[in-house]
Amino acid sequence: MTMDAALLVGIPADFRYLAGTPFHIVNEKYVLAVTGALGAVPVLIPALAEALPIDALLTRIDGLLIPGSPSNVDPARYGNGASPAGTLKDARRDASTLPLIRAALTAGVPLLAICRGVQELNVALGGTLHERVHEEEGRHDHRAPLDASIDVRYAPSHRVQLAPGGMLATALGTEQAAVNSVHWQAIDRLAPNLDVEATAEDGTIEAVRVADAPNFAVGVQWHPEYRFADDAVSRALFGAFAAAMRARAEKLRRAA
């Protein structure tokens, strides 16, 4: 896809210490999905927490992609107790993305949230999470083997049922899809203004839509950014996101 320099997509970064040095980082697969699947220019958003100029930022981007990450949302953000020992967290990312998500929805900036992103979306709007969904009674193990190759880890591993007549089922042209599964956390109590768009066979919520959003605002638990060019569901999802961004950009251009 030819890159459209007129469209800018913000991608919030993780905050991580590597070899004792602080970094703001984003996995390259999200950058490549923005350029390749959306034909847009990625803008990496540093995890500046309260210092992030959210309002100014949202006037300059056309869409917001909230990416996955190895870290968990801190349960203190949704009123739960301490995490199990050894859980990787990212307080700077939490402090950056949660208010950014709420502000983007208010501003009508199209939003696509992936894996940790859909978990952040749920928490930002008042929901809660399972930190280890595989330990919940009746739930499957949604993790992928860490010692496997990337292709194996991100291969389709289970099916999801899309809500009949829902936005995703309509956009994707199907009511079932095979998706990958690379997560420990999952949505527990759904935020009040989220609608379920897809579920796994064990009842785990796999996709949501912000019911009262003025624009495209969807979160998925799987990873559509991996091999996006080869997967029809991923292409349709990114296509809907891109269409919303182009429509909003054109509307703003005409109003200027």
Report the C-alpha gap between 200 and 45 in whole angstroms: 31
Report the C-alpha gap between 109 and 193 in whole angstroms: 17
Q: Residues with catalytic annotation?
A: 115, 223, 225
The 3-state secondary structure of 41-66 reads: EEEEECCCHHHCCHHHHHCCCCEEEE
From the list 25, 118, 128, 102, the residue with the least C-alpha distance to 68 is 118
Q: In what order do the strands lie in the sheet with 8-12?
A: 41-45, 8-12, 63-66, 111-114, 217-220, 205-210, 194-200, 158-162, 176-179
Q: Which two tokens stand for residue 99?
A: 């208010």
